[in-house]
Amino acid sequence: MTDMANADLDTTAGSAPNDLEAFWMPFTPNKHFKRDPRIIVRAKDMNYFKADGTPVVDGTAGLWCSNAGHCRAPIVEAIQAQAAELDFAPTFQFSHPKTFEVASRLTAMAPEGIDYAFFCNSGSEAADSALKMALAYHRLNGEASRTRFIGRSRGYHGTGFGGISVGGISPNRKFYGTMLPGVDHLPDTYNRDEQAFSRGEPAWGAHLADDLEKIVALHDASTIAAVIVEPMAGSTGVLAPPQGYLKRLREICNKHGILLIFDEVITAFGRLGYATAAERFEVTPDLLTFAKGVTSGTVPMGGVLVSKDIYDMFQGDGGPDHAIDLFHGYTYSGHPLAMAAALATLDLYRDEGLFEQARANEAVMADAAHELKSHGLVQDIRTIGLVAAFDLAPVDGVPGKRGYEAMCKAFHDENMMIRVTADTIAFSPPLIANETDLIDIFDRFKKILDAVS
């Protein structure tokens, strides 16, 4: 263990030696991290804190999830009270009151016609659940030949086998064999020549949805179950949908009886200034996945919001009382702590008007981000909602190096958390960020850009 690791960790807690070795960290270069760790011990509102008490500005709402800010008292208290009252209750064949309350609250926030909510524990489970529901729906509808899924290049739908199969990020796929069979992909919607330095939805690119027609022509509609896309592709580096693109996808899906799944794991709960991206872009999917912001990241939770048509298909004509309608679920679907956290979080979003605040701050964030347009390292900036991404010029022959160095320097020297995908840096601060916070984030980022130039 390094000296730095010793300084950052409390090695006196517990009986086992607390060094850095045993934890195999996800999506992290483990060897380098363990030589030069970035450890957080506490959080409050807009900040994380290092062990020595230094605040670290949260430029990313953790991993796009702490939308209400950190350790907010009403959420903390609701979780504490729930843990003392009902720690666990199964939701297979039994349930507890808060599951129904959360489902009612979420479906009330969803677009019209989305009337049912299924719960799981993560975005990955949500994506896989939605894909399974789509398959089963078609089978129950007498169209068992509809088994293909259409994802999109540069899409991210988590790390389950379903999610990586429809996802379009090569390193997440190439190590894992053939994945699900029968998956095809739409092209991604990014074209720097046509869209550089976009604010909101780029004007160019709606026609890319028409590639779905080509895929239908190739495979025949009778083999296709669903199209799954992120309304705004987040993890790949923030690609807002071109104007009219999602509407066009919806039309083509309707024409061919294909279900449309929006993966709103990042975009739901205010990130784009609305409860859902579906609301912002005025396009209603058949299934809508969510996670992250639903509990502001406090307790793992995800889920799928589902149209009445789909739910009704599973109910059939009644059938015997003992017949289960959905052979799918997780031990922790509707976990009491997640439900308590979700209710308190949704109350906070409503009472503090955080979606509206994000909407009002969209221009502030865009202005502050685009100020950096002329920096020599910056090749593109994309902003939408309370999100901004910067493509940095890669170090010659070593893609990803500059982005990684920027993230390390941001943490150690500028006390800020930023998110990196290769040489693209993404910002998605908690929705409580005010104008001063947003300007401060990009002031710090300017210093980081200078440092890695």
Q: Does position 157 bind ligand PLP by CB under 6 A?
A: yes
- Cα-to-chain-centroid distance, residue 114: 20
Q: Does residue 230 interact with ligand PLP by CB under 6 A? A: yes
Where does 115-159 have alpha helices with state H? 123-140
When binding is defined by CB under 6 A, the residue of 82, 91, 99, 235 that contacts ligand PLP is 235
- What is the four-CA torsion angle of 104, 105, 106, 109, rounded to 10 degrees? 120
Taking the least distance from each CB to ligand PLP, the nearer of 277 and 381 is: 277
What's the min distance (Å) between Cβ of 174 and ligand PLP? 19
Per rule CB under 6 A, is residue 184 in the interface with ligand PLP? no
Can you say whether residue 360 is alpha, beta or left, with left for phi > 0 and alpha for psi between -120 and 50 degrees? alpha
Residues 64-93 that bind ligand PLP (CB under 6 A): 64
List the structure tokens of 133: 């529901």
How far apart CA 195 and CA 441 sit, in angstroms, is 24
Pairing of strands 259-263, 224-229: parallel
Which residue's CB is nearer to ligand PLP, number 246 or number 378? 246
Contact present, 302 and 126 (Cβ < 8 Å): yes
The nearest distance, CB 20 to ligand PLP, in angstroms, is: 22
Which of 62, 69, 202, 234 binds ligand PLP (CB under 6 A)? It is 234
Q: Which is nearer to ligand PLP, 82 or 124 (CB)?
A: 124
Task: For residue 243, give the amino acid letter.
Answer: Q
**Among positions 266, 287, 346, 377, the unique one binding ligand PLP when judged by CB under 6 A:** 266
Closer residue to ligand PLP, CB minimum distance, 297 or 440: 297
Residue 156 sits in the site that holds ligand PLP (CB under 6 A): yes
Residue 128 near ligand PLP by CB under 6 A: no
- Check residue 124 for interaction with ligand PLP (CB under 6 A): yes
Cα distance between residue 122 and residue 236, in whole Å: 19
Q: How far is the CB of 27 from ligand PLP (least distance, A)?
A: 9
Among 136, 265, 283, 299, binds ligand PLP (CB under 6 A): 265
Interacting positions 418-447 with ligand PLP (CB under 6 A): none
According to the binding rule CB under 6 A, does residue 158 interact with ligand PLP? yes
DSSP 394-428: PBTTBTTHHHHHHHHHHHHTS-EE-EEETTEEEE-
**Residue pointed to by tokens 């190439």:** 174
> Longest C-alpha distance within the chain, in Å?
69
Out of 184, 263, 362, 423, the residue judged to bind ligand PLP by CB under 6 A: 263
Q: Whole-angstrom Cα distance, residue 113 to residue 82?
A: 31
Shortest Cβ contact with ligand PLP: which residue? 123
Name the minimum Å distance from CB 107 to ligand PLP.
20
% helix, strand, coil for the chain, step of 5: 40, 15, 40
| 55 vs 43: CA distance, rounded Å | 8
In terms of Cα–Cα distance, which of 357, 354, 387 is closest to 369?
A: 387
Rounded to whole angstroms, how far apart are CA atoms 293 and 63?
10
33, 52, 198, 292 from 5: Cα distances, Å: 10, 13, 41, 29
Return the number of the residue (127 or 410) whose C-beta is nearest ligand PLP: 127
CB of 328 to ligand PLP, least distance (A): 16
User: Which residue in 304, 311, 260, 314 sits closest to 286, CA to CA?
Assistant: 260
Q: Is 449 in the site for ligand PLP (CB under 6 A)?
A: no
* Residue 179 C-beta: closest distance to ligand PLP, Å: 16
Among 66, 122, 295, 421, binds ligand PLP (CB under 6 A): 122
- Contact between 385 and ligand PLP by CB under 6 A: the answer reads no
How many residues sit in the footprint of ligand PLP (CB under 6 A)? 15
Does position 297 bind ligand PLP by CB under 6 A?
no
Nearer to ligand PLP, 66 or 235 (CB): 235
- Smallest distance, Å, CB 125 to ligand PLP? 7
Instruction: By CB under 6 A, name the binding residues for ligand PLP.
Output: 64, 122-124, 127, 156-158, 230, 234-235, 263, 265-266, 291
